[in-house]
Amino acid sequence: MDKPPFRVIVFAREFNREEAVSDFCYFLSGKMKSLGVATDLVCYSPEYSETEFPENALSVFRVPFALNADTFFNWALLMNAELKRKGRELAEKREYLMVIGNDWTGYPAASSISSLFNIPLVTVFSSTEQNRGFSYENSRPISDIEWEASDSSRRVVALNNDCRNSLVYDLKVPQEKILTIEGLLEYVRLLEEVLVEKK
């Protein structure tokens, strides 16, 4: 079967099919395929490999990254530099309808590619730092990144109501900008908007 003519690029910290963000990315790619949109997922991996999931028109590009850091926050920012490098390589060869960043750990690379190639940006949140207790030594800069992601994205996707409430009341995101995904029905409509603009 031929690959769909349109593509989105997604940035996530990992893809192992055993945790929530990975399951979301896999489910998202299935919804994208139903719209005629293929998904390229760029994520961290200790070993480089590219994985194809033709049933969902999903291509996973695993970026090797061996540097250590003194905190997870610093490691995540260093890791994003590598995600960005791979994303730029892909975006120079392929045309994308949309850039999607998963949480604060995928947003920096997604934001850079969105700005560099003038592609609409969407950030997906499964939780915010406020939801997680704001008890980490780097909670303040993480929350600042979450605010920036919410502010600069065309849409903000909350994967549950607790996260949505935190986006509204803690990060002051306008309610009309937030999509709560239950079955991704709202997200499918957003992609339809972009497809209409392209025609």
For 139, the token pair is 């909670």
For 51, the token pair is 């994985």
Determine the average pLDDT of the residues in 102-124. 95
pLDDT, averaged across the chain: 88
Whole-number pLDDT of residue 2? 57
Question: Which residues lie below 8 Å from residue 55, measured CB to CB, with a gap of 6+?
Answer: 30
Instruction: For residue 154, count other CB atoms closer than 10 A to its CB.
Output: 16
Whole-number pLDDT of residue 1? 43
Instruction: For residue 169, count other CB atoms closer than 10 A to its CB.
Output: 10
What's the start-to-end Cα distance of the chain, in Å? 23
pTM recorded for the entire structure: 0.90
Cα angle vertex 180, ends 179, 186, to 5°? Answer: 60
Model confidence at 67: pLDDT above 90: no
Instruction: For residue 130, count other CB atoms closer than 10 A to its CB.
Output: 18
pLDDT tens profile 133-166:
988 889 999 999 999 999 999 989 998 889 999 9
Euclidean distance between CA atoms 90 and 36, whole angstroms: 19
Lowest mean pLDDT of 29-33, 65-69, 81-85, name the range: 65-69
Class of domain 6-193: alpha beta
pLDDT tens profile 7-28:
999 999 988 877 778 888 888 8
Cα angle vertex 85, ends 123, 179, to 5°? Answer: 5
Whole-number pLDDT of residue 187? 65
For 46, the token pair is 């200790």
